[in-house]
Amino acid sequence: MLSLKEKYKDYFQVGAAVNSDTVVKEGHIIKEHFDTITCENTMKFGEIYKENGAYDFADPDIVYNFAKDNNLKMRGHNFVWHNQTPRHIFDKSADEVRDILKNHILTMHDRYGECITCWDVLNECIEDKTDGYLRKSIWLDKFGEDYPKQVFAIARENLPKDVQLFYNDYNEYVPEKRDKIVRLIKSINDEDKLVDGVGLQCHVNLYYPTLDLVKEAIELYASLGLRIHVTEMDLSHFRFEDQTVLEKPDEKLVEKHAKLYGEYFALFREYKDYIDNVTLWGVSDRYTWLDYFPVRNRKNWPLLFDEEGNKKQAFYEVMDF
């Protein structure tokens, strides 16, 4: 049987989010099935930039070396976010913070650029609530309303042209939020094209969103002339507000999960001219952030490989075309 990446080679690259543990324990699955990897957490600014201005590269080095040794490309994730940011730099002036960000971008490129083909420059800066545009964040407080454009300009000036720059967000298919994302990207790209692509995180569940909403969103983003990456896909068994704990999904749920995964990938294939990469937010159900969010220590089964690393029904559905 073909691997996932072989099956999809004429459509888009397939990727997985990894960490220094999964590249060891699930390295064989990653090597066989995925073209690209993303550091789940360890390349985030706040994770590696210490109070004294020194870096701790131990964890991202492990992932990067794995990528390099196995000829995998990486999505860089991420430079500017309201979370996992080194809060201590914000005591300084806006100009100093801009300089630190610029040096951070140069440092990351210098160390990891050989494998990284794109960066999520800005993550999740849009407000979820209907009344409100930009989310409150220390970056907004420090740089002002046009901070999205400022940070893209810094990234563009300091990275080679062939490194693609992405805006990445969740609930990207919810019409009100989607339209704000469109407004944001248009405002950043009003003079020069600074944003090359939009990252659709695609943290979805069995009940929401509808595929029609996802399709509408893909069409709208594509109409702006943007490349599209699905950056963090997982398919949870639970509605977001549902606190239920399940011992194991029954056969019906397993089937529903598999069928819906198949439908998502069929939709992505339909838009292969715009979509360059579909990344899953994890490798196997052995470890997923959804076991800790939004309910702590509740097992979830959102990926294509089970807890033992075996192919799930969802895997076969995704491969069935």
- State which residue, 119 or 170, has the beta carbon closest to ligand GLA: 170
Whose CB is nearest to ligand GLA? 289
Shortest Cβ distance from residue 81 to ligand GLA (Å)? 7
Q: Which of 232, 270, 307, 317 is catalytic?
A: 232
- State which residue, 35 or 40, has the beta carbon closest to ligand GLA: 40
Shortest Cβ distance from residue 168 to ligand GLA (Å)? 6
Query: Whose CA is closest to 43, among 79, 72, 68, 90?
Result: 79
Tell me, what amino acid is at 14?
V
**Rounded to the nearest 5°, which phi and psi values hold at 204?**
-115, 170
Q: Which of 40, 124, 172, 317 is catalytic?
A: 124
Shortest Cβ distance from residue 55 to ligand GLA (Å)? 19
DSSP, collapsed to helix, strand or coil, labels residue 211 as: helix
Cα separation, 79 vs 102, in Å, equals 10
Shortest Cβ distance from residue 41 to ligand GLA (Å)? 6
Angle at 283 (CA atoms; ends 278, 288), nearest 5 degrees: 105
In this structure, is the dihedral angle defined by the CA atoms of residues 230, 208, 236 and 60, taken in order, positive or negative?
Answer: positive
- State which residue, 61 or 291, has the beta carbon closest to ligand GLA: 291
- State which residue, 81 or 264, has the beta carbon closest to ligand GLA: 81
For tokens 């939004």, name the residue.
294
Per the DSSP assignment, residues forming a β-bridge with 310 are: none
Q: Which residues bind ligand GLA (CB under 6 A)?
A: 77, 123, 170, 201, 232, 289
Q: Determine whether 124 is an active site residue.
A: yes
Beta-sheet pairing, 227-236 with 36-39: unpaired
Q: Determine whether 232 is an active site residue.
A: yes
Which residues participate in catalysis according to the annotation? Answer: 124, 232
